[in-house]
Amino acid sequence: MKAIVITQAGQAALSEIDEAGLPEGDVTVRVTASTLNFKDGLAITGKAPVVRSFPMVPGIDFAGVVEASAAPGFRPGDSVILNGWGLSETRWGGLAEKARVKGEWLVPLPPAFTAEQAMAIGTAGYTAMLAVMALERQGVRPEHGEVLVTGAAGGVGGVSVQLLHRLGYAVAASTGRPQEAGYLRELGARTIIDRSELSAPGKPLGKERWAGAIDSVGSHTLANALAGTRYGGAVAACGLAQGMDLPGSVAPFILRGVTLAGIESVYCPMPLRLEAWARLAELIEPAKLAAMTRTIGLDEAIPAAEALIAGQVRGRVVVRVGS
């Protein structure tokens, strides 16, 4: 079967591998589509130590059809998706024509989506939904004011803008690519903020600007998002594009009662996964999803991963793997 194989950090190639080499698992899936997330880009380019063992097949997401199953609840012919669970880190992932995994990791493909649409959402969109749900749990409501989305031209950001707009929130989209302003407004952003306003060191506490925020950037951007959040607001943090550090202060927490909610998607419990995918099936508008998606072949995945890490990719990239 064909697969992207990483043999050591920074060395990836499209290869022919033996299906017998697939890892242990009780479900074998014929993969029809995968996608490229930021973590996939890091794994393929070797820009960060994502991969824990070699050789590794990257791809933290896949959608496909069950070929063989010893797992309760799944039969040959079932359409399924998988997000996370250590794929591309400790387990072979979805950038291959077949995958073998544990049945307890699989989610049935929602009837509202094709396999490629589910991968256009992928972990990025599923994470965005988890972040929106976290803001809702913290009491952030549309009538409370704008919600900031950082890294808005990326995958998590673009889906976050769509979801928030669909739910009635006013969205302030932060991006370092001013040429994408029209695209972000089409997704539902009301206000466009230049990334430079948030990416430099800021004050411990700033003007109250947002009722909440979804941040996929980290570092100074996250610190400034917190500093500009209104009393009683919340920030959902789910990424580290700028860095893993948080160079801020406790001032937003102890003077404004701001909540920082961490979003973890890899090992997220199944009930929350199912809820997130059910909400996505209700809220995602196919036309807007298509507008932020580009589809490529498996042979194009490596250069696309390099472009993703270089900040040259807008929205989502679906990798068409098989039929």
Number of H helices, E strands in the chain: 10, 15
Per-residue confidence (pLDDT) for residue 230, from 0 to 100: 98
DSSP code of 221? H
Per-residue confidence (pLDDT) for residue 311, from 0 to 100: 85
Cβ-based neighbours of 81, under 8 Å, separated by 6 or more = 61, 62, 63, 106, 107, 108, 109, 115, 118, 119, 277
Per-residue confidence (pLDDT) for residue 10, from 0 to 100: 80
**270 vs 107: CA distance, rounded Å:** 8
- pTM of this prediction? 0.93
For the domain spanning 122-262, the CATH number is: 3.40.50.720
Fold adopted by 2-112+292-320: Quinone Oxidoreductase; Chain A, domain 1 (3.90.180)
Where do the domains of the chain lie? Answer: 2-112+292-320, 122-262
Give the tens place of pLDDT for each residue, 175-208.
998 899 999 999 999 999 999 999 999 999 999 9
How far is Cα of residue 103 from the mean position of the Cα atoms in its chain? 22
- 122-262: same fold as 2-112+292-320? no
- Can you list the residues of the chain whose pLDDT is less than 50? none
